[in-house]
Amino acid sequence: MITHAMEDYLKAIYLLQKGEEKVSTTAIAEQMNVSAPSVTGMIRKLTTMGLIDHTSYQGVQLTEGGKKVAKEVLRHHRLLELYLVEIMGFTWDKVHDEADKLEHVISEEFEEKMSDALGHPTTDPHGHAIPAKDGAVKEVSYETLAEVEPGSFATVEQVNDNNPEMLRYLDNLEIVPGALVQVVAKEPFNGPLHLKIDQAEHFIGLEVAHNVFVEVSEKEAN
Amino acid sequence: MITHAMEDYLKAIYLLQKGEEKVSTTAIAEQMNVSAPSVTGMIRKLTTMGLIDHTSYQGVQLTEGGKKVAKEVLRHHRLLELYLVEIMGFTWDKVHDEADKLEHVISEEFEEKMSDALGHPTTDPHGHAIPAKDGAVKEVSYETLAEVEPGSFATVEQVNDNNPEMLRYLDNLEIVPGALVQVVAKEPFNGPLHLKIDQAEHFIGLEVAHNVFVEVSEKEAN
DNA sequence: TTTGAAATTTAGGGCTGACTAAATCTAAAT
DNA sequence: ATTTAGATTTAGTCAGCCCTAAATTTCAAA
């Protein structure tokens, strides 16, 4: 039996893994806001169940089975986020927490009805890919806005969705997936990012810029 | 902290109580499919929390606080059922189980959005009253179809929603809230109920008829 | 009034998933 | 090669909610 807690761990591990690297106990503990011993305990259980591989003191990796479960949960989560925004009229800062609770309890039919109503979408309101029913995901890794060189134009692709306050802030500035942003400068020194968005000029902190993922269009346009 | 399990117990007690009568441990245990000792344990906890009053060996009653919680859960449940049917396109036999899981995790805003989308309805797909935000409920108690005297016409008002198979059966026969049913006879002896519904004639078992609640219109019409 | 069946509670345990404190392992720096 | 800081695991608890078996209470029938 896979419990809600197990689903949460598998999802966290899925989101933390980059390529073939093992995911550490501490990283999972931080992501989930639990203690390291709690993670060790769950790791033992998930390993026994064949959902992860564990090398003592080295970290864990999802097995194919574990990856399948994680993607199903993530599909629920991201479909829910989009459904809440598009169909129910939630603002995008509220949907992460709501989806975190709902993702574990909705039926496959509920998932299907949402997907139908939304026209089988592939990205959620924050620009994250929605895994397909068969597990296919187009996981792209983008640059962060903080890394973009001054003078460049960049299209916003993704925004981290775990901080409601930041999401409201970004929404005000129209820094949302699809928006075109011009990075004017980092000033005075690695300082606030000077941006031009749709004529308006803004300064945003570097920490915030680290949560915005972009595709650079051109180094110098007009 | 009120847990999901506590909410389930309060809801069960609310549904079992008729008038001022105390609700027995056994009744709760049967309704919830748990053992009697489990109920006793939870009763102790809910009593400590001031959500129910308990007299040893006599049964329990909801306090005002307990009633408030129960009605909020029930409002969630019945709004969800209607939302799933009307907005998402579920069939009415599936929505009870789905709502049983969702009712504990949706936010107040989710509840509000559903209510808005549905035009602030007062009854769910099975004809049960949806408690208002302020706790107001028009709980009417109807006759069961099994009690209606042959020769009478009756309007279906409510149907028990806990048996999906029965709901599919009733739906086929068009025995749904709002339908007008003529009771032709009970034959041969207290036997299957002989009904006429919209020209068509049907025979339904007495156990099924006990789950259909009606308002008798006239003893003899036409 | 006694007795017995049914209802209820008490006693004792199991499982999950969290915690802190303490022990152990790893890996990097001296 | 040794030290040491940080990461990880082990050990021991606790709370929530379930269970069975046994004890107790209630209530109605004899």
Q: What is the pLDDT of residues B104-149, one digit of tens each?
A: 999 999 999 999 999 999 999 999 999 999 999 998 889 999 999 9
A210 and A147 housed in the same domain: yes
Task: Please report the pLDDT score of residue B217 as a whole number.
Answer: 87
- What CATH number is attached to the domain comprising A121? 1.10.60.10
Q: What is the mean pLDDT of residues B54-61?
A: 98
The answer as to whether B79 is a domain residue is yes
The answer as to whether B67 is a domain residue is no
Instruction: Give B23's DSSP letter.
Output: B
Closest residue of chain B to A99, computed from CA coordinates: B106
- Distance from residue B205 (CA) to nucleotide D1 (C1'), in Å? 88
Q: What is the pLDDT of residues A89-103, one digit of tens each?
A: 999 999 999 999 999
A151 and A212 housed in the same domain: yes
B151 and B204 housed in the same domain: yes
Q: Which pLDDT band, with edges at 50, 70 and 90, does B155 fall under?
A: very high
- What CATH number is attached to the domain comprising A207? 2.30.30.90
The answer as to whether B21 is a domain residue is yes
Q: Does B117 contact A at CB distance below 8 Å?
A: yes
A154 and A96 housed in the same domain: no
Q: What is the pLDDT of residues B10-24, one digit of tens each?
A: 999 999 999 889 999
B147 and B213 housed in the same domain: yes
CB nearest B113 (choices: A89, A109, A114): A89
Q: Which bases in strand C are touched by protein, i.e. have an atom under 7 Å from a CB?
A: 7-12, 16-22, 25-27
Task: Please report the pLDDT score of residue A70 as a whole number.
Answer: 98
Residue B222 has pLDDT above 50, yes or no: no
Last residue of a domain, one of A104, A120, A139: A139
Residue A221 has pLDDT above 50, yes or no: no
Structure token digits, residue B5:
């399990």
A151 and A213 housed in the same domain: yes
- What CATH number is attached to the domain comprising B53? 1.10.10.10
B135 and B157 housed in the same domain: no
- Asked if strand C comes closer than 7 Å to B24 Cβ, the answer is yes
A115 and A57 housed in the same domain: no
Residue B181 has pLDDT above 70, yes or no: yes
- Asked if strand C comes closer than 7 Å to B37 Cβ, the answer is yes
Which residues partner with A53 through β-bridges? A61
- Distance from residue A47 (CA) to nucleotide C23 (C1'), in Å? 23
The answer as to whether A15 is a domain residue is yes
The answer as to whether B222 is a domain residue is no
The beta-carbon contacts of B114-119 under 8 Å, at least 24 apart in sequence, are B114/A88, B114/B79, B114/B80, B114/B82, B114/B83, B114/B87, B115/B79, B117/A88, B117/B83, B117/B87, B118/B79, B118/B82, B118/B83, B118/B86, B118/B87
Q: Which nucleotide is nearest to A6 (CA to C1')?
A: C17
A29 and A91 housed in the same domain: no
**Angle subtended by helix axes B25-32 and B4-16, to nearest 10:** 120
The answer as to whether B16 is a domain residue is yes
Cα four-point dihedral sign A154, A157, A162, A164: positive
The answer as to whether A222 is a domain residue is no
The answer as to whether A115 is a domain residue is yes
For residue A109, give the nearest of B89, B165, B170, B164 by alpha carbon: B89
Residue A187 has pLDDT above 80, yes or no: no
SS3 per residue for chain A: CCCHHHHHHHHHHHHHCCCCCCECHHHHHHHHCCCHHHHHHHHHHHHHCCCEEEECCCEEEECHHHHHHHHHHHHHHHHHHHHHHHCCCCCCCCHHHHHHHHCCCCCHHHHHHHHHHCCCCCECCCCCECCCCCCCCCCCCCEEHHHCCCCCEEEEEEECCCCHHHHHHHHHCCCCCCCEEEEEEECCCCCCEEEEECCEEEEECHHHHCCEEEEEEECCCC
Q: What is the pLDDT of residues A160-181, one digit of tens each?
A: 998 999 999 999 999 999 999 9
Q: Which pLDDT band, with edges at 50, 70 and 90, does A222 fall under?
A: very low
Task: Please report the pLDDT score of residue B221 as a whole number.
Answer: 44
Q: Which of A94, A103, A105 is the best mutation test for B, with the most CBs of B within 10 A?
A: A105
Q: Please give the Cα distance from B47 to B63 (Å, whole number).
A: 9
Looking at the complex, report in whole angstroms how far the Cα of residue A100 sits from the nearest Cα belonging to chain B.
Answer: 10
CB nearest A107 (choices: B98, B109, B114): B98
Q: What is the mean pLDDT of residues B184-211?
A: 88
Q: What is the mean pLDDT of residues B65-92?
A: 98
Q: What is the mean pLDDT of residues A202-218?
A: 93
B113 and B154 housed in the same domain: no
Neighboring chain A residues of B90 at a CB cutoff of 8 Å: 109, 113
Q: What is the mean pLDDT of residues B150-166?
A: 95
Q: Which nucleotide is nearest to B57 (CA to C1')?
A: C8
Average pLDDT, chain A: 95
Task: Please report the pLDDT score of residue A191 as a whole number.
Answer: 74
A38 and A77 housed in the same domain: no
Q: Which of B79, B88, B118 is the best mutation test for A, with the most CBs of A within 10 A?
A: B88
Q: Which pLDDT band, with edges at 50, 70 and 90, does A219 fall under?
A: low
Instruction: Give B149's DSSP letter.
Output: P
Closest residue of chain A to B97, computed from CA coordinates: A107
Beta strand A59-62 pairing with A143-144 = unpaired
The one-letter code for the residue type at A58 is: Q
- Distance from residue A25 (CA) to nucleotide C2 (C1'), in Å? 68
Residues B110, A98: C-beta atoms closer than 8 Å: yes
Last residue of a domain, one of A120, A139, A158: A139
- Output the pTM of the full model: 0.94
Q: What is the pLDDT of residues A122-160, one digit of tens each?
A: 999 999 999 999 999 998 889 999 999 999 999 999 999
Q: Please give the Cα distance from A107 to A105 (Å, whole number).
A: 7
Residue with the larger pLDDT of the pair A199 and B117: B117
Per the structure, the complete domain to which residue B177 belongs is given by: 143-217
Q: What is the ipTM of this complex?
A: 0.94
Residue B220 has pLDDT above 60, yes or no: no
Q: Please give the Cα distance from B143 to B163 (Å, whole number).
A: 19
CB nearest B105 (choices: A105, A107, A117): A105
B32 and B96 housed in the same domain: no
Task: Please report the pLDDT score of residue B133 as a whole number.
Answer: 98
Give the total number of structural domains in chain B: 3
Residue A220 has pLDDT above 70, yes or no: no
